[in-house]
Amino acid sequence: MTKSKLTIAAVVTALFGVAVFVLAVMTPQSAFAAVGSGGTGGGGGGGSGPYTRYGFGWYRFTVGGSGPRDFQNGNTWSAVNSACRGYRYVMAFIVQRQTGGPTNARVYDDTWLWDWRNYEGWTNYLGNSGGNWVTRGTAWAMFSSLPASERSGYTIGRNVGWFCYEAASNFTTTGTTTANRTTAYPGDTIQWTHRLRNNGPTTSSPIRSQTVNSGFSNSSFNGTRNVTTATIGSGATRSHPSYSTYTATNADIGRTLCQQLQWDPTNSSGGRNGRANNVCVNVIPRPWTTAATSTRTVNGANVSTGSPGNVIRWTHTLTLRTNQNHLAIRSQTYSTGFSNGWNGLANVTNTAAWRPVGVIRTINPSAANRTQYTIAQVDVGNTLCQQFQWDPTNSSGGRNGRTSNLCVNVPFNYNLVPAITNIPTNSVIDSDNRPVSVIGRIANNGPTKSRPNVNWQITQLKY
């Protein structure tokens, strides 16, 4: 920054009732300077003029807002405000007037003139008042934190009455949400990663960021989590580790677990509603399958025919082959061919979910289960069948599990013996045209009943 030629003039001012000769350093403000002189001198006098009795110290003005009324060196707030474009604040050493507060004050250099006694202990020193007032030590430290290029030609405590401070934010942001998987089984750990990066070039203004979670069976994970509000340095990244690691449970099966990073503002222009992708993980059951078997015996033998008096026994077994079932499994027997009312479904049961691998249901032979039956004559000619059914058959919801239909055929097995009775004894038949009275009978020697509607007739009479 180029500085104009200094103009030195001798002035006299009243400092706390003491007449003091001082040098007024006239430093016209150069365009876009970050530091400037307020001029030297003491705030004395009274009435409508600036006076230390009315309060003095370092004050923080906002760029674009109202500023001090005047500067000793003829500078103006408009020029200083313009010079500090791109910054947030103007720090100025001011002496107030009787009324009007800081915006009716005059800017002075904070120099040796104020050091002849410890002005921070003066009654009307306002640097310790808080708010926009700052202590001398703080103001000097703020000046010293400026880049050397901005402080060039100026020395705090000698020729600094004001300086621009805290460059205004100029930044953009990028937010991302990722997960280590797209599907998960119960017991799997899901890790979401949320990162909010300030792309610079300046530190951001305070940014509120959070994660929004949904779908979790553990309700403590759902909703808005990880709320943080703070600035982010240029090139720095903010992460949100809390509530971002989750172990899927059986209760999450069928759920879609989602997390999304949200933030606001998104840039120095006040962009709103920053959103990363809503990243979701589907929780699915571990694959499981089932198998069922049915067996049948007749009087203990693996045969498919029987006769009255024989005992048929069916046994049905349902086995979970791999992993635990996440769904209940309905199973039953289905019978046909019976004449005693056993036809249709029986033994209907729901086997609960989360059974261990192995046999999960067995139906043993018993009359109570309709799986043990003694063949009767009424069954002759029938085929007695039984089948085991179950549903679902696997983790994908397979339908209509069926074993083979195991049947026992009960065939007819009988011997019909004809007989004619009532033949006259020692009778003489005189003519072929004369009627002969006889009685014909058919005897069933078993062991089963005969087929229905057996027709018979006498076809020949020998004598």
Whether residue 222 is found in the same domain as residue 187: yes
Q: Round to whole Å and give the CA distance between 388 and 295.
A: 10
At 20, the pLDDT band (50, 70, 90 cuts) reads very low
What tokens were used for 187? 């017991």
| 320 shares its domain with 405 | yes
pLDDT digits (tens, 9 = 90+) for 89-126: 999 999 999 999 999 999 999 886 665 456 666 778 89
Is the domain of 29 the same as that of 150? yes
Q: What is the CATH number of the domain that holds 206?
A: 2.60.40.10
The whole-number pLDDT of residue 425 equals 62
What is the predicted pLDDT for the residue at 47?
A: 64
Contact 143, 134 (CB under 8 A): no
Out of 220, 251, 283, a domain closes at 283
Q: What percent of the chain has pLDDT over 70?
A: 83
Task: Note whether 134 and 157 are same-domain residues.
Answer: yes
DSSP, residue by residue, 254-294: T-EEEEEEEEE--BTT----EE---EEEEE-PPP-BEEEEE
Q: What is the pLDDT of residues 44-58, one digit of tens each?
A: 445 678 888 899 999
Is 117 a member of any domain?
yes
Q: How sure is the predictor about 440, in pLDDT bands with cuts at 50, 70 and 90? A: confident
pLDDT at 238 over 90: yes
Predicted confidence (pLDDT) at residue 2 exceeds the cutoff of 50: no
Q: What is the pLDDT at residue 53?
A: 86
CATH number of the domain bearing residue 327: 2.60.40
Q: What's the whole-model pTM score? A: 0.55
- What domain range includes position 276? 171-283
Average pLDDT, the chain: 85
pLDDT band at 22 (very low <50, low <70, confident <90, very high): very low
* Tokens of residue 209, six digits: 């960021």
Are 418 and 403 within one domain?
no
- pLDDT value of position 30: 32
Q: Is residue 2 part of a domain?
A: no
List, for residues 379-423, the tens digit of each pLDDT value. 999 999 999 999 999 999 999 999 999 999 999 888 888 877 776
**How long is the chain?**
463
Structure-model confidence comparison of residues 65 and 456, the more confident one: 65
- Return the DSSP state at 34: S
Peptide bond into 68 cis (omega under 30): no
* Boundary (domain end) residue, out of 283, 302, 324: 283
- Which amino acid does the sequence have at 451? R
Question: Are 142 and 162 members of one domain?
Answer: yes
Count up the domains in the chain and report the number.
4
- Single residue among 250, 283, 316 that ends a domain in this structure: 283
b vs e for 259-289, b when ≥16 Cβ sit within 10 Å of the residue's Cβ?
Answer: bbbbbbbbbbeeeeebebeebbbbbbbbebe
pLDDT at 12 over 50: no
Cβ contacts of 320 within 8 Å, gap of 6 or more: 288, 289, 290, 355, 356, 357, 358, 359, 360
